[in-house]
Amino acid sequence: MEKPKVFESEYRFCQILWENEPIRSSALVELCRERLGWKPTTTYTVIKRLAERGVLKNEKSVVSSLVGRDEVRGAEIDELVDKRFGGSTPAFIAAFAKTRRLKKEEVDELQRMIDGFRRSEEE
């Protein structure tokens, strides 16, 4: 399956969906009005657009996701690494580490992740 492309306003919509799914479309319209200030037509348009792209399904006016939060985030990161860092994960991490001061605990966690990747490659 192709990686999902979810734009910023759609991502805010998806966050509401992920927190409340499965949800009737009328209730989703109300939540989007309250949280995003959207008109009903905007919400129904986003539902239709994301359904066409395979991000969610709308069956009998009940909306649920077909793509999870982690999958959307992963696709966004892949696009960023490809577009801005020529596909180089080390270049991405180096730029990230230069602009954000990492705590010791974060560095330790990253090292554990790297060690885990190495072990899984050796098996």
Q: What is the pLDDT of residues 89-114, one digit of tens each?
A: 999 988 988 888 889 999 899 899 99
The verdict on 55 and 98 lying in the same domain is no
Q: Is residue 2 a part of any domain in this protein?
A: no
The two tokens of residue 26 are 């009328």
The verdict on 54 and 97 lying in the same domain is no
Residue 101: the pLDDT is 85
The verdict on 63 and 101 lying in the same domain is no
What is the domain range of residue 40? 8-69
Stretch 56-66: mean pLDDT: 97
Q: Which helix (H) or strand (E) holds 57?
A: strand 56-59
Residue 13: the pLDDT is 97
Q: What is the CATH number of the domain that holds 16?
A: 1.10.10.10
Q: Is residue 80 a part of any domain in this protein?
A: no
- Rounded CA separation 7/17 (Å): 15
Residue 47: which of 69, 18, 25, 27 has the closest Cα? 25
pTM: 0.76
C-alpha pair distances (Å), 21 with each of 10, 14, 123: 15, 10, 38
pLDDT of 1 higher than 80: no
Bigger pLDDT: 120 or 82? 82
The verdict on 56 and 92 lying in the same domain is no
The verdict on 12 and 61 lying in the same domain is yes
pLDDT of 8 higher than 70: yes
